[in-house]
Structure 1
Amino acid sequence: MFIKSLTIKNFRCFGKGTDEKGTAINFNNGLTAFIGRNGSGKTAILEALNFLIGSDYLPTRIKEKDFNSDAKEIKDEIVIEGETEKPFFATLDVRSSTNQLETIIIPCNKIKITIKRREKPEKVLDDPFVINKYVLPIVGDIDESIFEEDKKARKASRISQIKEGYTVFYKLKDGQERNAKVISYQLTYNPNRLTKCPKSYYLSKDRDDDVSGNYSLIAKILTDLHWKYKKKQTGGENTISSEYDTLAGSLRDIVDEKSVLINGINEKVKAICCDDKNFQIDFVDIDQPYKSAFVAKKEGEKLLLPDNLGSGFNILIAYALFAYVADQEKTPIVLIIDEPELHMHSDWQKKMYEVFTNQTDLQFVYSTQSENFISLKNWKQIRSISDFQVFPKEEILQEQITATDGQNGTRADYLDDYAAKNLHISAILRENLELFFAKKCVLVEGPSEKYGLPKLLKLSGCVVENFSVSIIPAWGKTKIKNYQMICKVFGIDYFTIYDN
């Protein structure tokens, strides 16, 4: 896990919260799946996280509609803050208390964005919002073991917060202690000054944007490959260039055997500009061979682009591209995906979830409306959103309860027990994971009640199909408590019907 928690305040559907501190969201180690009904705030959480650690240029992304409906005043501001699992480091140039210029490495564990409306214009066509993004140091005594060896910079040994910013203490080689004042503006987010700071890649619902186009991820990768290609090129005879000249010459003879087209172009150009430009038909810019490259699948003699293969391939190719980039990066990578199940067959969904779960080098954060991308075996991965609150809540998980056999434990203990005993296979059927995506659910004993209850209610003038209610059969009265536990922990409204 690279990002430990996220706090959102006044951003879209998330307001100030009951404590005026916003909505706090804890992430699971490795993978976190957000589930909820349409409009519950899943995408808002993903985009807030991407704003925080992604590479988007925020002034072009922030709009008035990003402010919560209750944040109407000029003084109201959006706050997005993330805490990292492990420290990352900011390298700053400061002036010490003895008036010496020093380079200091400062450990940090938080990134924060504040967005507020501009009170008055400062220049023509100024941005309507004031956006600040900065890092927050770890306050207190610093364990020296967290630093890597770097003889060129001082390492902070203690950090204290002051009104203007922070005072950073460090030691000289002879053991003497010095300090320097770090003003808040010096902590402005600058990736070039940060090491080991998590970085995100966001795979939105528009899969095509990442596998094709001038500004897609594949275009950025090909640009990097072109740079590597140019770096490896040597002077003198270029075998690739000579081979291309032979191939291009053959192709030109096929399409313009007597050079009628090319000679005609050159004659007309020369007649106007009085200069022989020697135009020719070409196929690849040999100086930039990767510029026109593309991802394709060979079927017989044909090359098929992703669009020709079906939209489900876009997510697979995009994931492969992101995994490639993450492998090249030297920083922790968080892969954010909005509904990975889009356009994918159920079998592929299950396999992709398994791949995500077993991945250890990336942190995955995604939203989903598919039962195939969650599992009660890994219940700690699931974050359910209801009424703009995120479940499970720690206080509910730590509630002490007594089982029917008299054993005591917390709700978290019992869910761990469900997972350890593989009850997600034997007692809680996969199709019943529908309850996670229901607005309300009715828990019943078995299929007779599931299919009989709607008919009985219809006789009373109540048509269940007109309401967002799911009827979930527990397949046994003794198993109902398992479902009640799940509903209680994940904030699912439920009602239980059974006979004595």
Structure 2
Amino acid sequence: MKLTKMVINNFRSFGECQEINFNNQTVLIGNNSSGKTTVLQSLSKLFSDKQSDRIIRKSDFHLPKGLRPGENTRNLFIETIFEFDELAGTVYGPAIPTFFEHFTVSQDGAKPFLRIRLESSWEDDGTVEGSIDTQIYYISSDEDTIRDEDKHRAPRKDLDKIRVLYVPASRTPEKELGNASGSMLSRLVNSINWTKDEINEIKDKIDELNNTFLSENGALIQINNEIQKSWELYHEDNRFSQAELIINSSEMAAALRQIALKFSPTTTEEAFTVSDLGDGLRSIFYFSLVDSILDIELEITKDREENPDNPRFKLVPPILTILAIEEPENHIAPHHIGKLIKRFKQLGNNDNSQVILTSHSPVIVKRIDPEDLRYLRIENNDSVLQTIVSDIQLPQSSDESYKYIKGAIQAYPELYFAKLVVLGEGDSEELLLPKFFDLLGLEIDSSQISVVPLGGRHVNYLWKLLNALRIPHITLLDFDNERYGGGWGRIQYAIKQLILNGVAKEKLVTVATESQKSRVLDDDEIDKIKDWKIDRPDNQLLEGWIKMLEKFNVFFSTPLDIDFLMLQHYREYYLDMLSSKEGPVISYADSGGNCKKVKLTDLDCINKLQLEGLEKRIEEAKIATLKDKSGPGDSFTREEKELMIWYQYFFLGRGKPTTHMQFLSSISDDELTRNLPPVFAKIVNRAEELLGDIEHGEE
């Protein structure tokens, strides 16, 4: 038996119906105050074993925009769907006989399921809290519209078979260790079936302890006598005439309240209590305590099956415990988090438990399968302010890009918590773009911008993911002019993927004809865009298409990639990093036919033989730069072709990030600004526009 779906309507930050699907382990992610804790508390309203957690209050009702707290009658509901894997096997499960008469069968013939729904209404009756009426029902229909005859009251004794164990972000395990009412330990200790011999032996030991402390020659008996003497002066009621100081009561319950946990050995040679531990260790111990309780309950269930007439514990464990754990990363080192997540996954696979976590930490997210993530955000516009829940969109598992994208979004989990994502091709973008954002006054951390480097051929899946999550994004692609698939091929690719992601054709491929009438390119014509030719570097047609795509937040590093772009704008600064012994070399034959070499920076521009060697070197660099299946290089200027020698030296023969890091450390911000590539300024300006829209509620 497992929780598979929940529907929340008008509960706290949730407005209109939101569905949340659950797996054995589910992780709710999103920014602060996006509704993650609300999901856990909504489950507690139905299934918490603490009565105070189940009370619906006025503040639990969602308040739509434009309404004041005291206006109108309001209604909410929280609905849960449970499915039963036990139905597919032959293994006996207590869940089926317990809930069988309340099973619902859908019209499509799928397996029966259990539908439990909390409904609550609020009316203003003049009191502070108002009048609140709450009921929990079994629903015997699979329809969205529920009739009164489909509702059957769910008794609390049935609901107690399902337990939500809420572990808050602030964890105090010492409270759960005591035998106070409602603590984890008290439920187990109070259900022990003590034998008469055990009870008598414990009482005898307590009496023996009291007699030892209160012996006639002891100091405590002297204190007790003085208390008795004073008490007689103040009070004469025979019912309470004797005031006796004792170390403990002979009652079992009173004795068990003294249970405490000690940790040893310690550096001070004095045992530590739970409260003496640091925040991180207390958190880890809390999880350990929850884990041990579940294990004990499994043993209790097994014992009751083997010894139904004389079980060791009176406790009947819940059929399903849902661990609702808030921010498990708090105070805990990353390597411990890895162990916790692994254990949570094991617990979620157990028959009697399921795990729901909340987090806004990339450390957690990168350790979770994307299929187990649920993304929460606040939709904030002129009409609504409410939580929206989305699943993570991945390519089909059979697609060759599935593993790549799954790995990529696990490697860069920051994108889920960003207000804006900037997608780039690789490591160079990840290093350079934050610097230029900071330089232009938009510091990425304070603006909650994530730069995510991903291969250009996979960017379509990231667009799909980010669009589904409603996270604004900007993309910087390599134009790769005259490289295989580059140039017009890049334009075509971006257009086709934008269309697949919901952009209307009319906005992308409307062109003017000779008669000055506009028309939309058909699919065959779009497919032929990749075969268009770039005749000159200043091709106006090409510039027009690039500007059009910039309207859709798609930018290009032209004419090749960001590394070539940086070299174009900062050539002298990259050269200044080299020592006298570094730099590309030109090979040539002297007048005697001997092979000679000269550094490119020392080239004699009037020496014909050296210039012949330069031409051969340019051709070699062009082939290396444009790679296999490349074009002839005719669309590049002479200066760009010569620059390819330096491109080959810096970025094909050395590490790109290392080269850029050295460059950034050697140049001032003023010099960076003075030679700024225009595409960087365009991207930062667009980012400011998008972030401005978010701030004004136009996500």
**TM-score, normalised relative to structure 1:** 0.72
Give the C-alpha shift of residue 479 in structure 1. Answer: 5.8
8 Å CA contact retained: 1:213, 1:219? yes
| Cα distance between partner residues in 1 of 2:159 and 2:220 | 60
Structure-2 change in CA distance of 1:36 and 1:77 (3 Å)? same
Q: Report if aligned partners of 1:40, 1:385 keep a CA contact under 8 Å in 2.
A: yes
Give, in whole Å, the separation in 1 of the partners of 2:210 and 2:363: 50
2:2 is aligned with 1:2? yes
* 1:310 alignment partner in structure 2: 278
User: Once the two structures are superposed, what CA deviation does each residue of 1:6-36 show, in whole Å capped at 9, x if it has no partner?
Assistant: 11111122212xxxxx1111112x1000000
Cα offset, 1:470, TM superposition: 1.3
Report what 2:175 is aligned to.
Answer: 211
Shift of 1:129: 1.2
Residue 304 of structure 1 aligns to a residue whose secondary structure is: coil
Greater relative CO, 1 or 2 (CA 8 Å, sep 6+): 1
Instruction: Output one character per residue of 1:279-329: Cα deviation in whole Å (capped at 9) or x when no partner.
Output: 133146552221221233233553322221112233333333333444422
Q: 1:41 aligns with which of 35, 56, 59?
A: 35
- Do the aligned residues in 1 keep the contact of 2:75 with 2:120 (CA within 8 Å)? yes
Question: Aligned ranges for residues 101-250 of structure 1 at < 5 Å?
Answer: 105-107=101-103, 109-118=114-123, 120=125, 128-137=131-140, 164-166=148-150, 184=151, 187-193=152-158, 197-208=161-172, 211-212=175-176, 219-222=183-186, 224-228=188-192, 231-234=194-197, 238-250=200-212
Q: Secondary structure at the match of 1:343?
A: coil
Superposed displacement of residue 105, structure 1: 3.8
The amino acid across from 1:371 in the alignment is P
For residue 297 of structure 1, give the secondary structure of its aligned residue in structure 2.
Answer: coil
8 A contact 1:9–1:23 mirrored in 2: yes
Amino acid at match of 2:117: K
Between 1:440-449 and 1:253-262, the stretch displaced more is: 253-262
Deviation digits for residues 259-294 of structure 1, max 9, x if unmatched? 321221223334544666261331465522212212
Is 1:487 the counterpart of 2:466 in the alignment?
A: yes
Distance (Å, rounded) in 1 between the aligned partners of 2:274 and 2:457: 50
Q: Which moved more, 1:271-280 or 1:449-458?
A: 271-280
Greater Cα offset, 362-371 or 443-452: 443-452
- 1:391-402 mapped onto 2 (5 Å cutoff): 391-392=390-391
Displacement after TM superposition at 1:458 (Å):
4.6
- SS of the residue corresponding to residue 412 of structure 1 reads coil
For residues 392 and 412 of structure 1, do their structure 2 counterparts lie closer, same or farther at Cα, with a shift above 3 Å needed? farther
Question: The residue matched to 2:261 in structure 1 has which SS?
Answer: coil
Q: Corresponding residue for 1:176?
A: none
**Cα pair distance change 1:440/1:105, threshold 3 Å:** same
Give the unaligned 5+ runs of structure 2.
Answer: 88-94, 105-113, 298-316, 380-386, 480-699
Partner in structure 1 of residue 373 of structure 2: 382
The amino acid of 1:496's aligned partner reads T
**In structure 2, what is the equivalent of residue 79 of structure 1?**
77
Are 2:432 and 1:452 aligned?
yes
- 1:319 equivalent in structure 2: 287
Aligned to 1:14: 14
User: Unpaired segments of 5 or more residues in structure 1?
Assistant: 17-21, 93-103, 141-160, 167-183, 398-410
Structure 2 distance, partners of 1:443, 1:215, is: 54
- For 1:258 and 1:68, locate their aligned partners in 2 and report how far apart those are by CA, in whole Å: 60
* Structure 2 CA distance for partners of 1:264 and 1:298, relative to 1, 3 Å: same
Q: Output the CA distance in 2 between the equivalents of 1:446 and 1:162.
A: 53
Higher mean alpha-carbon deviation, 303-312 vs 284-293, is at: 284-293
1:416/1:52 Cα in 2 relative to 1: closer, same or farther (>3 Å)?
farther
Measured in 2, the distance between the counterparts of 1:315 and 1:282 equals 33
RMSD between superposed Cα atoms in Å: 3.8
Rounded to whole Å, the distance in 1 between the matches of 2:184 and 2:77 is 31
Alignment of 1:64-75 (within 5 A): 64-70=58-64, 72=67, 74-75=72-73
Residues 416 and 226 from structure 1, CA distance in 2 versus in 1: closer, same or farther, beyond 3 angstroms? farther
- Quick check: which one's strand share is greater? 1
Does 2:283 match 1:295? Answer: no
| Contact residue 59 and residue 131 of structure 1 kept, 8 A | no
Q: Counterpart amino acid of 2:223?
A: L
* Amino acid of the structure 2 residue aligned with 1:238: N
Q: 1:245 to 1:52 in 2, by over 3 A?
A: closer
TM-score (norm 2): 0.53
**Counterpart AA for 2:390:** F
Structure 1 CA distance for aligned equivalents of residues 247 and 399 of structure 2: 65
SS of the aligned residue for 2:246 comes to: coil
* Structure 1 residue 254: Cα displacement: 12
Instruction: Indicate how the Cα distance of structure 1 residues 254 and 12 shifts in structure 2: closer, same or farther if over 3 A, else same.
Output: farther
Corresponding residue for residue 360 of structure 2: 369
| In 2: Cα distance, 1:417 partner to 1:232 partner | 64
User: How far has the Cα of 1:241 moved from its partner?
Assistant: 3.1
- The answer on whether the counterparts of 2:418 and 2:450 sit within 8 Å (CA) in structure 1 is yes
Higher helix share: 2
Equivalent pair of 1:89/1:106 in contact (CA under 8 Å): no
**Cα separation, 1, equivalents of 2:192 and 2:452:** 57
C-alpha change, 1:233 and 1:341, in structure 2 (3 Å) is farther
3-state DSSP of counterpart to 1:299: coil
1:230-250 alpha-carbon deviations (Å, 9 max, x no partner): x32339x93333334444444
Tell me which amino acid in the other structure corresponds to 2:419.
K
